[in-house]
Amino acid sequence: MEMELLKNMDNDGEVEERKDDKKQQRQRGGIKTMPFILANEICDRFATTGFHANMITYLTQKLNLPLVQASNTLTNFSGTSSFTPLIGALIADSFAGRFWTIIVASIIYELGLVSITISAVLPSLRPPPCPTQENCKEASTSQLWVLYICLLLTSVGTGGIRPCVVPFAADQFDMTRSAVARRSWNFFNWFYFSMGMATLTALTFIVYIQDNVGWGWGLGIPTVGMALSIVAFVIGSRLYKMVKPGGSPFVRLAQVIVAAVKKRKAALPADPGLLYENKELDAAISSQGRLLHTNQFKWVDKAAVVTDADATESNPPNLWRLATVHRVEELKSIIRMLPIWAAGILLVTSQSHQHSFTIQQARTMDRHLSHSFQIPPASLSIIRVVTMLIGLVLYERLFVPFARRFTGNPSGITCLQRMGIGFMVNILATIAASSVEIKRKAVASNHNLLDKPTAIIPISVFWLVPQFSLHGIAEVFMSVGHLEFLYDQSPESMRSTAVALNWMTTSVGNYIGTLLVSLVHKYSGKKKNWLPNRNLNRGRLEYYYGLVTGIQVINLIYYVICAYFYTYKPLEEVSEKSKENGVDLTTDNIPSKPLNGASGDGEDCIGALDGTHVRVKVSPIDAPRYRGKYYLVDAGYMLKSSLLPPYRGIRYHLKEYSTRAPKNARELFNHRHASLRNAIERCFGVLKKRFPIIGSLTDPTYSFDTQTEIILACSILHNFLMGVDPDENIIAEVDRELENGTQPREALRYRDNDDEDARRGAIIRDNIAAAMWNDYVLN
């Protein structure tokens, strides 16, 4: 957020800073908002895990559904829950904003939880019990419809929560690459850690209650927790940074495509710098920096070609005919991301039914920890979650510092490398699952238990630990890396949509998984079916795992090819500090840097040159340090890329704005230009009157370091003298000269010309003025 500093000179000539609403916005956000934001997502994950992890038991044991139908029901529910986030993301990014989308979605989610709890309590909504699991009466159509409506409500609610919580939480921090590199922690790692803790609690506490106390309590507790999270989220609303929606991202993408098609016969300029750019138009969707032009997918660049028919100077452009480079690059970013995103689909397909099948395996194995206590089958997922939690900590504290020594990457390895490791570990997990199933059936055969589906096979359930642990390790690399990749590489105005794409991976993968299981069940035979409905002992589950392993190997090869050719998005980055201090400065080839419109600490703004400047002599060795930097100068200087004077013919002095605020971008630029120069000019004006060595008009003969020390020494002496023998006359004299514009000025060495550097200077100044005005109007 930018801050406008309104400076007024009082009788003593002191400059006061008055804070407006933008400073309050800057003070919001940060780590203090996380308990309120994460409470909502934690309760969502807690509730979802609470009934989904053990829902296969509810469907097969309480509603008496066949295994394949129950597994497909859960997979379809999971797929729907992962598809609705795309709708929620579009609503949030287009007009509603993330905050209100989360609020409304949470209420809908709560209604779903209340409904499913009621359905679990009322006996009329369930078929008669069937302890033997033979010749059972299945749930009626009306009972199933009640279940489906409950699941649909939770899916709709999830659609608004999941795509918005991660970006909304990230909005509270400076997520630019430079800021992320400076932090010793990774937001996405700790976000997943929080979610893992919620999942762990659900898999232990809630699943135990469901198996040993009852489903009414087992679903009622998550319902109460979700209600409390909504209250907590609303209470924290005064602490949040609110990012305004930038309009429908799909409309912008469509506009670029339409414009490119309309200009398909237009010739691209040899210089990409001639493509259309409009920082003021893109300001709302590029607060963290503009996307730079890339040479990929050049046919899309035609959308930014300026033709004679495009009235770009006097009228706003028709965005269905002319797109900015930033908007063109948004489309290119999405196109580049899609192949990497698609690689996650088959990974989810391979995992979609493993959880359900593993629970059924565990139900037939020895789960005793003691003579009186058995591990609930659904709670075995604790192993995966605990492995993931430990893995995240070890990854953050050990792996990243170790890898950083070799790669020089602040994150240790790239997101793509992290995902690739996750793909490979997941293949090992599926191989381990196949091996355990072979072992389980061998033991069952040795004890003549193949035809007894409810019998306990004398093999420890801890044989399943390796596959669960490997899945947890894979999640540390793949799941977190995938989410971080989509967030980082997506355009900033589409980050809710990008997170929704992460869930879309789950949705599409689950649907394909349902299709795969259905086809395997249908065509693998009746006598030796790979996936039988009732007796898993007579199935060929290991064959199914072998098929899934082959799919994953092919998918890994595809991913490696896509990752090898992937190009990371180029960005002119603007840090959070820069946004606080002013606006970003860009030229055709210079990265964006802040010009502080008020306080003067912009990264590329060296200082002010005018009647009170101190001339320095820079050696050829030091000269490269000052390239790309600029001074603020008075109107007597020529306009150059390194010298930015105010606009001529526009009111300038601060007293001219005392009764009438700036009315356009140029007036606002001049006002802030004067505010900054005024403070610097006043300081050096006092020093020059007190110390003649500074006021000398001759070229200095001292080294650069000596000149710096002279300024520091004079400043120290001035402060000391003001303490022991204050001379207010000098300060008053400088104030009068500043107010009346009568300060003595040195002979100007520059005159206007019309060279290329002057053109670049004009672009710099116009970009600054446009961005300042856009922020001034919007905020």
CATH of the domain at 377: 1.20.1250.20
270-312: pLDDT as tens digits: 777 778 888 778 877 877 777 888 888 888 988 888 877 765 4
Asked if residue 16 belongs to a domain, the reply is no
312-324: pLDDT as tens digits: 454 567 888 888 8
Residues β-bridged to residue 633: 609
200-246: pLDDT as tens digits: 787 778 877 877 787 788 888 888 888 888 888 888 888 888 877 76
Q: Are residues 469 and 410 in the same domain?
A: yes
Mean pLDDT of 626-636: 73
497-546: pLDDT as tens digits: 887 888 788 778 878 888 888 888 888 777 777 877 777 778 788 888 88
Q: Are residues 255 and 112 in the same domain?
A: no
Q: Of 565, 585, 604, which residue constitutes the final position of a domain?
A: 565
Tally DSSP H helices, then E strands, for the chain.
27, 9
Asked if residue 278 belongs to a domain, the reply is yes
Residue 221's domain comprises: 22-245+330-565
Asked if residue 356 belongs to a domain, the reply is yes
What's the pLDDT band for 652 if we cut at 50, 70, 90?
confident
Q: Of 546, 565, 584, which residue constitutes the final position of a domain?
A: 565
Q: Are residues 602 and 535 in the same domain?
A: no
pLDDT at position 344 over 70: yes
What's the pLDDT band for 750 if we cut at 50, 70, 90?
very low
Tokens representing 200?
A: 């762990």
Determine the residue type at 637.
Y
d(CA 198, CA 388): 13
pLDDT given for residue 132 in this prediction: 63
pTM flag (> 0.85): no
pLDDT given for residue 281 in this prediction: 80
Q: Are residues 505 and 615 in the same domain?
A: no
Count the helix, strand and coil residues of the chain and give each as a percent rounded to the nearest 5: 65, 5, 30
Q: Are residues 325 and 364 in the same domain?
A: no
Among 752, 778, 777, 774, smallest CA distance to 278 is for 774
Q: Are residues 198 and 102 in the same domain?
A: yes
Residues β-bridged to residue 595: 583
Of the two residues 393 and 707, the one the predictor is more confident about is: 393
Q: How many domains does the chain have?
A: 3
Q: Are residues 610 and 528 in the same domain?
A: no
d(CA 679, CA 669): 16
Q: Are residues 203 and 302 in the same domain?
A: no
Asked if residue 17 belongs to a domain, the reply is no
Asked if residue 64 belongs to a domain, the reply is yes
Mean pLDDT of 627-641: 76
Q: Of 530, 565, 600, which residue constitutes the final position of a domain?
A: 565
Q: CA separation (Å) from 184 to 401, 446, 561, 663?
A: 10, 55, 32, 44
Q: Are residues 430 and 549 in the same domain?
A: yes
Q: How far is CA 550 from the centre of its chain?
A: 33
pLDDT given for residue 560 in this prediction: 94
Q: Are residues 659 and 631 in the same domain?
A: yes
661-675: pLDDT as tens digits: 788 888 888 888 887
Apex CA 111: angle with CA 109 and CA 115, to 5°? 120
48-64: pLDDT as tens digits: 777 666 777 778 777 87
Q: Are residues 610 and 479 in the same domain?
A: no
- Lookup result for tokens 């356009």: 664
Asked if residue 10 belongs to a domain, the reply is no
d(CA 255, CA 274): 20
699-712: pLDDT as tens digits: 566 666 777 788 78
Determine the residue type at 586.
T
Of the two residues 602 and 261, the one the predictor is more confident about is: 261
What's the pLDDT band for 21 if we cut at 50, 70, 90?
very low
Asked if residue 746 belongs to a domain, the reply is yes
Apex CA 516: angle with CA 515 and CA 518, to 5°? 65
Asked if residue 277 belongs to a domain, the reply is yes
Buried b (16+ CB within 10 A) or exposed e, 170-179: bbbbbbbeee
Q: Are residues 482 and 364 in the same domain?
A: yes
pLDDT at position 410 over 90: no
Q: Where are the alpha helices (DSSP H) in 172-186?
A: 177-182
